[in-house]
Every structure is written in C-alpha cells, then in structure tokens.
Structure 1
Amino acid sequence: MSYGANAYARTAQVALTPREAEAAVLIKAAVRLQAIQDNWDAQHPTLDDALAFNRKVWTILSTAATEPDAPLPDELKTSMARLGAFVFTRTFDAMVEPSADKLTALIQINRDLASGLRDNS
C-alpha cells in the first residue's frame, strides 16, 4: 500500500463516529465468526480466538451501555444487559461444545446491532 493510501486509511479510521466505530467492530467480529461457520472443518481451530474477540467486543459494549451515567433510556440499558448476557451464554456454550450452528445467533446479533448503529449515526 502506498504512503497516500496508508494516510487515507488512517484518516478514515479517525473520521468514524463512535457509533460507526462500534458498528465496524461488530461487523469485524461477525465476519470472523461467519468465516469459521462457512468453512467449519478448516476454520474450527480459530474458533476460540474469534469467540474471545467477540466476547471482548460485547464486554465493552454492554459495560458502556449499562453504566449508570450512559446517555441511554433505562429500557435500552436493560435490553443491552439482557442481550449481552445472551451473547456471553451463547459464547460459553460454543466454546464448551463447539458447533457451527451455535454461531448463527452471534453473527446475526452483531450484524443487526451494527445495522442499527449505522442507521442512527
């Protein structure tokens, strides 16, 4: 990549709004999980790393969304807490008894939330 392209890439990353950045990270996690699901036999060894990444993303999102001073309505804070709990439970289940179908909900949740974040940017 040329110097100009590198500079543009850095500028584009800086120019993201917080919602766009959150959406981008959710999509990155979804893409990693989707690649594993689509090619389970070859990609299965990378499952723990992808699940750990997704768990980190959700730890940050759910913690930030549920903080007492977060500028979100209480109903949305409660929904994010419940969704985060589901994601953590499903992640743990996929780590204990791995199967490709257990990734579907995680992938879809990430994509749906990213889409909502982009729509409200």
Structure 2
Amino acid sequence: MYPTQRRPAYSKAPPEGDPRRTEGWALTEAARRLSEAQRNPENADAFMDAVRRNWRLWTIFQAGVASPDSPMPPDLKANVLSLSNFIDRHTVGILADPTPQKLDILIRINREIAAGLLATPADAAPTPATPVSTPPAPSGGINQSV
C-alpha cells in the first residue's frame, strides 16, 4: 500500500478488553484479505498469504476452544471444533489446488461468525445451545458434523 492511500476503517484493530469484538474484527479482516486475494488471484504470494493467515487464525481459535480453561459450553465447543476441522481440510485443499472460487466458503464462514460476534447483545439470539451448522465437505470429503 502506498503511503498516500488510506486503509479502510474496518481494518483498524478494536480496542483491547473485548475478546468478542477482537475475534469478530480478526474474522472480518481475514475475510477481507481472502476476498481481495480472490479478486487478484494472479498475485500468488498474496493469495497464499491470505489463506495461510486465515488458517492460522482458525488454529488459534481451535487451540483456545480445546484448552481445558475454555469457559465455552460443551455443545458450542464441539461445534467450533467441528467447524475448525472443516476449515483445516478445506484449506489444505486450497493449498494443494489454489482456485479463487474455493475461497467463497471461507469468506462466508468468517463473515457470518464475525457478524454474530459483533452483534450487540440486544441483536444476538439468546440460544447458545443452538448448534452451528457445519458446511458440506468438499467433493470426496467426509462431513464430520457434531
């Protein structure tokens, strides 16, 4: 980015102290980078960087949820881990065959989870036990829904 160009407002990290906002921002930023990589697939380095950063983010989520200290309810924990496993498998598929269309589902998942995390409590649905649906596995894969 050139010094004269301004970064979009949504790429500015949120203030510390609100983990939900931070996670929502991180997912939104990862979706933005994936979307940009999808629009410019000829820049292979940026494409692979966006995919790897997204994978790293989901690995951080996975580690946090799997931690014995995680306060997350067991049903929600299982759903997040299942979704993380799907993202792992799908990302490996993208790394093996980097096709821009394969980013669609990662972008959509990140945006939908971010929207839930960034919703104000009045906007949020009060059903924490409602399972998160796991997207279908890519062709030839196994869907390991919990």
CA–CA distance in structure 1, aligned partners of residues 20 and 50 of structure 2: 22
Q: Is the 8 A contact 2:62 2:84 kept in 1?
A: yes
Q: 1:24 to 1:34 in 2, by over 3 A?
A: same
User: 1:13-28, aligned counterparts within 5 Å?
Assistant: 13-15=14-16, 17-28=18-29
**Shift, 1:112, TM fit:** 0.7
| Superposed CA offset, 1:88-118 (max 9, x none) | 1111100101101110111011111111111
Q: Is the 8 A contact 1:66 1:80 kept in 2?
A: no
Confirm whether residue 103 of structure 1 aligns to residue 103 of structure 2: yes
Long gaps (5+) in structure 2: 1-12, 122-146
Report SS of the residue matched to 2:70: coil
**Shift, 1:66, TM fit:** 2.5
Q: 1:15 to 1:117 in 2, by over 3 A?
A: same
**Shift, 1:26, TM fit:** 0.7
Which residue identity is paired with 1:18?
P
Report SS of the residue matched to 1:14: coil
Match of residue 51 from structure 2: 51
Confirm whether residue 115 of structure 1 aligns to residue 115 of structure 2: yes
The number of residues matched between the two structures is: 109
Match of residue 91 from structure 1: 91
Match of residue 80 from structure 2: 80
Higher relative contact order (CA 8 A, sep 6+): 1
Output the aligned Cα RMSD: 1.7
Long gaps (5+) in structure 1: 1-11
Structure holding more helix per residue? 1
